[in-house]
Amino acid sequence: MQQTTQAQTQSTTWMTGSEALLRGLLDEGVDTVFGYPGGSALYIYDAMTHNKEFKHILTRHEQGAVHAADGYARSTGKVGVCIATSGPGATNLVTGIATAHMDSIPMVIITANVPTSLIGTDAFQEADIIAITMPITKHSYSVRDAADIPRILHEAFYLANSGRKGPVLIDIPKDISNAKLLYEPYKEEIQLRGYEPDPTVDIERIADWLSAIAEAERPLIIAGGGIVHSNASEELLRFVDRTQIPVVSTLHGLSGFPSGHPYAVGMAGHHGNYAANMAIQHADLIISLGSRFDDRLTMKVGGFAPQARRIVHIDIDPAEIDKIIKADISIIGDLKGILAFASKLAALSNTAGWMEQIRQYQSQHPLRYNDSDSELKPQYVLEMMHKASHGDAIISTDVGQHQMWTAQFYKFNQPRSLLSSGGLGTMGFGFPAAIGAQIGNPERLVISVNGDGGMQMCAQEMAICAVHQIPVKIVVLNNRVLGMVRQQQELMYENRLSQIDLAGSPDFVLLAEAYGIKGLRASTKEEADAAWKEALDTPGPVLVEFVIPMDENVYPMVLGGTALDEMILGEFE
C-alpha cells in the first residue's frame, strides 16, 4: 500500500471504490437510495453491509427504483438517487430516466458495469448504457479510475440540481468499484467549461417586460413547471399580488400557484378548463414563466394566443426560447431571482375589466360533470379526496384519464404537491413515485392516484410498502378499460375501439391483501366516503379501489390540430 503521512491518514482513509461511492453519497446529504442488485453491482451492495448510515430501499423492479427516486426528487427538491446493475438492470431504468429528463427532475443514476477488461466484448449482462441514455441525460460519466469517484459524484450532484435540472448518470465498472483509493471529500469549487447554470440576467429586458405589462389591457401569466423547480412559488405569489395579473397553469405548474387564489384561473391546454384556454386566446400579453410551450399546452401552434400583441418568455434554458412559440421579449435566468427583482419594480395593472371577462368564462362553462346516485363518478372521488385533505396532500398520478381528473378537480395549496409524468406520459410512474415522495416527506399525506391499467405496471412495489410500512394511500380508479385510449378512439377514430379491454385484471383488493396491505372497495358515494375515511384512519398503506363507469370522459378536450378555443365540452356543449 502507498505510504502516507500522518496528516493524510487523519483527514483521508483508504477504501474501495464502492465504499467511496457510499461515503460520497452520504457527504452529499443523501438519506435514501432506491435500487436493485446484480452481479456487476455486488461490490457496491457488499459495502452496504458494513455501512449502517446508508439507507437503501430494495424495490421489486428497477423501474420502480428510478420512479421512486424521481418522486422523492419532485416532492423534496433534493436530488433523487437510484442504483442498478449492468445490462438489463441498467436498461430497465431507461424509461424512468427519460421521464425525469422530459420533466427536468434532478437525479443521479448509478449503474454498475462489467469489468473494464470485458467492456466492448459483449460480455454477460453488458450494455453500453451511456450510449443508450445519452439523449435523455444531462450528462454522463464512465468511471475509469476509482480515485475520480469523489470528484465525479460531487460534479454529478451539482449538474443534476443546477441550471435546468435533470438526470446525470454514473457508470462504474465492477473492477473499479473494488479498486482502492485514498478517500477525501471533494470540496473544491466546481467550474465546468461551457456550463453556466445561473446566467447573468439582462436588466434591460426585465424593464422591457415591465413596460409591456404597463401597456397591456389583458395580461396573462402562464405558470409552468419552472416555478416549482426554481422554488419560486412565493415570488410568483408576491408578483401577482402586486400586479393583479391572472395566472393559468400548465400541468406541472399547478402546484406552483395556489388554486384558491383569486387570480388563479386553472390549468390550460389539451384538457384545460374553458376559462383558462379562453384567457390565453384573448390575452393581449402572454407571460410564460418556466413553461416550454409544449404541444399539450399550445395545441395548434398557428392558433395559439392570436390576440397577443407581445409574448414574453422567461426560462433558465436558452434552448427553449423560440423553439415552438416566438417570443417578443425573452429573459434567460432563474425565475426565483427574476421574479423577486421584478416585484420591486412592477406596478399595479388595471385588470378589473379583464378579470370580469375571465369570470364570465368561468361562469359560462365551469368545470362540472353529471353526478349520479347510482354510479360512482371519478370526479366525485377527487373532490372527496380534496375535501378530506383540504388540498394539502401530495398527489402522485399515473397517466391517463385519472391524471386529468386529478388536475381538474383536486385543488393544490402547496408547491411540489402534484407529481405527474407530463412530458413522457409514463404509465407505471404514479405508484413508485408516491413511495419516493412518502419517504422524502414522512409527515405528509401522500396519495397515489392510478388507473387500473397503470397500476398493473407497478403493483409489485406494494411489497415494499408492506415491508417498510410506507403509509401511501393507493387509489385505483377502475373503469376496466384503457380509458384515455378509449376516449380518443371514440372521438377521433369514429368509435372504432381497439385493444382497450382490461378484462382479466386482478381483484385489486385481494392483490393488496396478498402483499399484506389493507384493501377496500367502493362503487357508490356512500361506500366511497366510508372507505376513504377508513383508509385515512388506518396507519400504514391502504389500497382503495373505486369502481367507476367505463364510458366516462374527460372534458373539456381540445383535439389535435385544433386551437385552444375549439374545445369539446361533452354533455355541456
Nearest Cα neighbor of 104 from 225, 194, 197 is 225
For the question of residue 62 being annotated catalytic, the response is yes
16: Cβ contacts below 8 Å, ≥ 6 apart: 43, 47, 146, 177, 178, 179, 180, 181
Give me 452's grid cell.
Answer: 387500473
Nearest Cα neighbor of 49 from 22, 15, 85 is 22
314: Cβ contacts below 8 Å, ≥ 6 apart: 209, 287, 288, 289, 290, 330, 331, 332, 333, 335, 338
- Distance, in Å, from the CA atom of 78 to the CA atom of 70, rounded to the nearest integer, reads 10
The CA radius of gyration of the chain, in Å to the nearest whole number, is 25
- Distance, in Å, from the CA atom of 279 to the CA atom of 91, rounded to the nearest integer, reads 43
User: For residues 412 and 449, is the Cβ–Cβ distance under 8 A?
Assistant: no
- Distance, in Å, from the CA atom of 406 to the CA atom of 266, rounded to the nearest integer, reads 12
- Longest alpha-carbon distance in the chain: 81
- Distance, in Å, from the CA atom of 347 to the CA atom of 396, rounded to the nearest integer, reads 37
Q: Which of 19, 28, 62, 461 is catalytic?
A: 62
- Distance, in Å, from the CA atom of 185 to the CA atom of 149, rounded to the nearest integer, reads 10
Strands 394-397 and 329-332: unpaired
Q: Which of 484, 487, 508, 552 is catalytic?
A: 484
Nearest Cα neighbor of 17 from 90, 100, 115 is 115
Q: Which of 78, 138, 165, 174 is catalytic?
A: 174
Q: What is the DSSP string of 159-188?
A: HHTSSS--EEEEEEEHHHHHSEEEE----S
Q: Which of 8, 55, 125, 566 is catalytic?
A: 125
Count of H-run helices and E-run strands, the chain: 24, 20
Q: Is the dihedral of CA 488, 491, 496, 500 positive or negative?
A: positive
- Distance, in Å, from the CA atom of 423 to the CA atom of 399, rounded to the nearest integer, reads 11
Is residue 539 helix, strand or coil? coil
User: For residues 370 and 425, is the Cβ–Cβ distance under 8 A?
Assistant: no
Give me 11's grid cell.
Answer: 483527514
User: What H or E segment, with its residue span, contains residue 354?
Assistant: helix 352-364
For the question of residue 124 being annotated catalytic, the response is yes
Give me 239's grid cell.
Answer: 408578483
For the question of residue 125 being annotated catalytic, the response is yes
User: For residues 238 and 343, is the Cβ–Cβ distance under 8 A?
Assistant: yes
**Catalytic site positions:** 62, 124-125, 174, 484
